[in-house]
A and B are shown apart, each in its own frame.
Chain A
Amino acid sequence: MRAIGTIEGKAYPLGRANIDTDIIIPAHWLKTVTREGLGRGAFETIRAEPGNVFDDERWQGAPILIAGENYGCGSSREHAAWAMADLGIRAVIAPSFSDIHSGNAFKNGILTVVLPQEQVDRLLEVAQEHPITIDLESQTVTTPYQDRFRFEIDAFRKDCLLKGLDEIGITMELDDAIAAHEVKAHADTPWVEGAAKAA
């Protein structure tokens, strides 16, 4: 995973609530067997609307997206995160996120920043003209004005993002603990094992 420190730049002022993963990347784009190239299908239905933020020159290549509540609801498709990453989005700011989607975003080095609606509204206003800065280390979002909004992020995620760590690699180092759990589970609930025939 790519490390994140400070993300600075234009922010798509999308603002809408309930942006579901079918909007982020429609199902007909899911037939790929790779992670690349999905930016072309990102936000396809919104991009069909005249005057949409994604095709407006002012925000071309913006690394930040600002949305309304419940961002990324719906399907678990990680393709949504891949599509956003392919489009160049490195952080999303919204009042709330779907649990699955924010996990997927994180695993692809995209920061999800939760801020209260009033602060999101203020950033939507600033983003019309100006860049926004997100600093992960200090957990703040700032604007060229006096705005300084602090956000929460869990310590593990923050550490992984700052260092660009591979989560599977970290877990594999805990092999002894996993094996010990398996021994105990085998004794307590032996019927759980062997439900599939290893092919």
Chain B
Amino acid sequence: MATTTSPRTLYEKIWDAHVVQQRDDGTALLYIDRHLVHEVTSPQAFDGLRANGRKVRRADLTLAVADHNIQTTARVDAAGNRLPVEDPESAQQLAALVKNTAEFGVEYIEDLAPEQGIVHVVGPEQGFTLPGTTVVCGDSHTASHGALGALAFGIGTSEVEHVLATQTLLLKRSKSLEVRVDGPLGPGVTPKDVALAIVAALGAGGGAGYVAEYTGSVFREMSIEGRLTVCNMSIEAGARAGLVAPDEATFSYLRDRPRAPKGADWDKAVSYWRSLATDAGALYDKVVTIDASTIVPLVTWGTSPDDSVPITGTVPDPSSFADPSRRAAAEKSLAYMGLTPGQRMQDVSVDRIFIGSCTNSRIEDLRAAAAVAKGRHVAGNVKQALVVPGSGLVKKQAEAEGLDRIFIEAGFEWREPGCSMCLAMNPDKVPAGERCASTSNRNFVGRQGPGARTHLLSPAMAAAAAVTGRLTDVRDIAAREIA
């Protein structure tokens, strides 16, 4: 641990506490406290261990769960027998995770367990993710866990293997970026809109090389679920990690979670966590401030997450972009998206609705969507409206609150937890040329299936689009009491 007394940021404090060895060339060997493993990016890493006769150094800091390939339709039949995963390659990848975790002694939350879910929903929910820890996963949205004040970032498969074998990573410290959002949020503005606004303000590559810390009254007042949504999308601005300083909301979220510390350990942990906040006078390498009152409900029009406009706005004209490469990209995006410049976003009709993903599949997201769906019905032109809870525990909670009934009565499909239509590795895909209002985080070309057209938006706006059949300003549709 550094002995410096100069003021430090939250990021520097976590970093300093995890340096195993500082090297002359500016890189450091960093200790990793939490390693989450899923089926897509781990098979080659376990193979690498096997090929070199290496073991998992700290199985007690490693947790595996399957999410990307798993089907969101029923996993058992009426008699309780397991239903097979139809796609043979998906089945092979899932089977590899079961085999590898058993062979290397890593805990695996199996697919029928109530705790199964999207890896970034499971970690916080289980209290596996803790403030002040370093958290990695072979998945770029690992940034999500920063919502609890953890330094969390995505890694590639070679790094997964490196962490499995050594519990460390060789890294260079990133620059620090403060993203300060102060002021009251307007009506209908959700954490997703805050996230999209930040990505638009920074640009898709604007955060590259930085670790972002989100500060200001908006985050202090935001729930942990909301902070998870914002941190989740850090990577869409290129920032490898995003952090929110742990506070009372963090502690009450974590208290009594299955894997959170208990008893005397809990008290010690909380007092340590309180010391992590950025010191007064600590300097960031870059500061971006956003006035919260300027944020409105947003929707994307293009194929990069920073391509957003207010829902009341229109499709931009590529010729309005000064930068020639931006202009060329916008033209390509519009051709792919089947949109014309000047078209009103609210006139764009949609074919599919996806409410889910590690960005927006937690209980608050489902409540917000249900409040709009309640007593209404999915429009006739909408071919499919999916609600995919982020975990089995979210699903159970939602069912206890009656949200499943609201969705089903409104014509939505109520599914089993997983990544689903966020990246279409399982059978949940958007067919080519169809348009999907999606609460996920990426609108890349082909992300939701080859030729699929994605509009990113908040859960309430996705529900609003479902009931009207077109992109819709959620402020025009009254939310209803769901309890």
Contacts and interface: CB of A to CB of B under 8 A. Distances in A.
A96 B34 CA distance: 30
Contacts of B156: 76-78, 81, 100-101, 103-104, 107
Interface stretch (B221-229, B245-253, B375-383, B443-451): B443-451
Nearest to B164: A168
Contact of A191 (B105, B266, B423): B266
Interface residues of A, number: 63
Contacts of B166: 168, 171-172, 174, 178
Nearest to B102: A199
A27 B60 contact: no
Given A100-B155, A156-B23, A190-B265, A76 B92 contact: no
A78 to B, nearest CB: 4
Given A31-B93, A45-B445, A199-B102, A70 B205 contact: yes
A53 interface: no
A191 B269 contact: yes
B319 interface: no
A103 B476 CA distance: 46
Given A33-B96, A74-B140, A100-B240, A69 B209 contact: no
Q: Which of A32, A45, A74, A168 has the most chain B CB within a 10 Å cutoff?
A: A168
A167 interface: yes
A177 B208 CA distance: 30
Contacts of A17: 325, 329
B272 A189 contact: yes
Contacts of A192: 33, 61, 130, 133
Contacts of A32: 89, 93
Given A17-B325, A199-B107, A76 B41 contact: yes
B20 interface: yes
A30 interface: yes
Contacts of A100: 140, 153-156, 240
Interface stretch (A18-26, A56-64, A135-143): A18-26
Given A167-B170, A177-B20, A196-B62, A73 B162 contact: no
A76 B154 contact: yes
Interface residues of B, number: 91
Contacts of B41: 76-78
A155 B39 CA distance: 33
A107 B265 contact: no
B106 A199 contact: yes
Nearest to A159: B25
B25 A73 contact: no
Contacts of B238: 70, 73, 98-99
CB-based closest 5 A-B pairs: A70-B205, A191-B261, A31-B89, A107-B158, A104-B156
17 contacts: A16-B329, A18-B205, A22-B446, A70-B205, A96-B208, A98-B238, A100-B140, A104-B157, A155-B25, A167-B162, A174-B168, A177-B29, A191-B268, A192-B33, A193-B60, A196-B60, A199-B59
Interface of B: 1, 17, 20-21, 23, 25-27, 29, 31, 33-34, 40-41, 43-44, 47-48, 52, 54, 57, 59-63, 68-69, 87, 89-90, 92-93, 96, 101-102, 105-108, 127-128, 130, 132-133, 138-140, 142, 153-159, 161-162, 165-168, 170, 172, 174, 204-205, 208-209, 235, 238, 240, 259, 261, 265-266, 268-269, 272, 304, 325, 329, 423-425, 442, 444-447, 450
Given A27-B446, A192-B130, A198-B59, 8 more contacts: A31-B90, A107-B158, A167-B162, A174-B21, A195-B60, A195-B130, A195-B259, A199-B102
